[in-house]
A and B are shown apart, each in its own frame.
Chain A
Amino acid sequence: MKYFDPHIHMSSRTTDDYINMYNSGIRAVIEPAFWLGQPRTHAESFDDYFQSITGWEPFRASQFGIRHFCAICLNSKEANNEEMAEKVMEMLPRYLEKDNVVAVGEIGYDDMTDLEHRYFKQQLELAKEMQMPVIIHTPHRDKKNGVKATIDLINDVGIDQDLVIIDHNTEETLPLVLETDCWAGHTIYPRSKMDSDRMAHLVKEYGTKKIIVNSSADWGVSNPLAVPYTADVMRKEGISEEDIHKVMWLNPIELYSKSGAFTAEELEEEIEFDQSVLFEGNSVLRGQSPEVRKNS
């Protein structure tokens, strides 16, 4: 079965991860823009980061047979640096038009400050104007209130809820999201917040409509194979292949193809990749044995 991990920070991951992900069935990923574990100190650092996730990273992923898309934004933590935030906001429209960009994100609340609110709102308005999907991060602390405040802001801005995914849900927040027309994202963490067993139970209880699963794997302890792993758990729990396919492939495609960056038909076709093209050079392979896969 083919899988789509619609939230994973691949620029923090290794080529081994790409190989394992491909071998586990992952064929497409979305890398939302986020913070790097420590605050940036120059707006221009965002610029180069955006360049990287719209340029080098999709090329690197393609060498391993995986389509790489991304989301662009000013993240909530760094929205608290007003001087820098203003400069980053000016950069966004240009990057949101890039070829592999499928959404504004991940935006949202972190500490729920006034500045976070201001830039969260402005970016929702930008997404509304550009008719782009939006990935909304929900806070790690005080999550339920954060989700309520997020839904209030979505209503206030008036963006089409079918373009919005509210991410990192738990048993407490999912019912709130399902009362809206937004999509509901779930991050499978190795040890906290949501795991594969609980995810399987949520699908059994609430069905598959607008339900999306991701790994959010990054530079921290995380599992880039969380999507295929959770699919296996769902199988063992008796969930049908059709339902697994919908949650792990069709749903993210339905949401993010609204960006116009790809179509469902395009994603059904495998990427032709030939690492031997780069075998001789200073490439992703660094002199290792290449893998070749061509469509027949």
Chain B
Amino acid sequence: MNLCKNLESIARKYSEAAPRNNTFWSSFDTLDDLSLNEFMTLSAAAPRRLGRKTVEFTEEEQNILQGIHPTLTTQTPGNLGRVLLAAKVQSPECVEEMIIRGGDDEQAAVVIALNLRDDAAVYKDKVVHACRTNSTIVHGAVSQDNPYPAKYFDDQAFKQLVIKTIFMGLDFDKITNLESRFNGELGQSLTDFFDERKAAGRWLPDSVLKFMKNKGLLK
């Protein structure tokens, strides 16, 4: 929970200049008394109440944020507030609602925040469903630098995540713990994908080819 406390103090510090930040923090202080609708309204409102513009974090703060998720160092105070909400709220219903029905940035915030929750495993099916999107913001938050999929996804869901990451042009090298989840079926899917692209006169990114070569998947 230290990470949460540190995140909260950073979000509080950088939202000080926002004119309506008090309305956010007064609700945040009674977070578990909020209804589902009030929670989602607070999450939606976070950028307008805490700040919509990116800020310059100190080196120490950057290290803290980096420890939670690398992309947090480029986030607005509003989106940090959303991560904090999803990390701290007790109700699993609120977390599930944010995963499935939040906006792109809210979904991105909650799939990062799951790594700060003790009950992270119970949201697996919802996160898998959230990956059925064409938004690179949401898929990127799950697939890039996020330990959640490798830790909780089953083989089928993890395979889909890997293939779709390539398919969407996201960074293959940023799939966390890919090596530990590699198996024959994933290798076969990569080979099939390579063959399909080749037949269409298209190619896979160098990072994928390098990985496949190391695994002996390229003839």
Cβ–Cβ < 8 Å partners of B41 in chain A: 93-94, 97
Q: Please pick, from B103, B135, B169, the residue contacting A279 in the complex, using a CB distance under 8 A.
A: B169
Cβ–Cβ < 8 Å partners of B37 in chain A: 90, 93-94
Cβ–Cβ < 8 Å partners of B40 in chain A: 94
A94-B40, A94-B41, A95-B44 as given contacts; A59 in contact with B104, CB under 8 Å: yes
A98–B44 CB distance below 8 A: yes
B48–A97 CB distance below 8 A: yes
Cβ–Cβ < 8 Å partners of B145 in chain A: none
CB-nearest residue of chain B to A62: B137
Could you list 28 examples of A-B contacts with CB < 8 Å? A51-B101, A55-B103, A56-B134, A59-B104, A59-B135, A93-B41, A94-B37, A94-B40, A94-B41, A94-B44, A95-B44, A97-B41, A97-B48, A98-B103, A99-B44, A99-B47, A99-B103, A99-B105, A278-B136, A278-B168, A280-B166, A280-B169, A281-B167, A281-B169, A282-B167, A282-B168, A283-B169, A284-B134
Residues of B within 8 A of A (CB): 37, 40-41, 44-45, 47-48, 52, 101, 103-105, 134-137, 164, 166-169, 202
A90 to B47, CA, bound (A): 22
Nearest CB of A to B169, in Å: 5
Cβ–Cβ < 8 Å partners of A15 in chain B: none
Instruction: Output the residue of B44, B135, B164, B167 with the most chain A CB within 10 A.
Output: B44
Task: Identify whether the interface residues of B are mostly helix, strand, loop, or mixed.
Answer: helix
A260 located at the interface, meaning its Cβ lies under 8 Å from any Cβ of chain B in the complex: yes
Nearest CB of B to A60, in Å: 9
A97 to B167, CA, bound (A): 33
Residues of A in contact (CB 8 Å), total: 24
Contacting residues of chain A (227-272) with chain B, CB-CB under 8 angstroms: 260-261
A54 located at the interface, meaning its Cβ lies under 8 Å from any Cβ of chain B in the complex: yes
Instruction: Output the residue of A47, A276, A283 with the most chain B CB within 10 A.
Output: A283
Q: Top 5 A-B pairs ranked by shortest CB distance? A: A97-B45, A281-B168, A97-B44, A281-B167, A94-B41
Cβ–Cβ < 8 Å partners of A51 in chain B: 101, 103
A54–B103 CB distance below 8 A: yes
Cβ–Cβ < 8 Å partners of B166 in chain A: 280
Nearest CB of A to B17, in Å: 14
Nearest CB of A to B213, in Å: 19
B169–A278 CB distance below 8 A: yes
A90-B37, A94-B37, A94-B41 as given contacts; A283 in contact with B105, CB under 8 Å: no
Cβ–Cβ < 8 Å partners of B168 in chain A: 278, 280-283
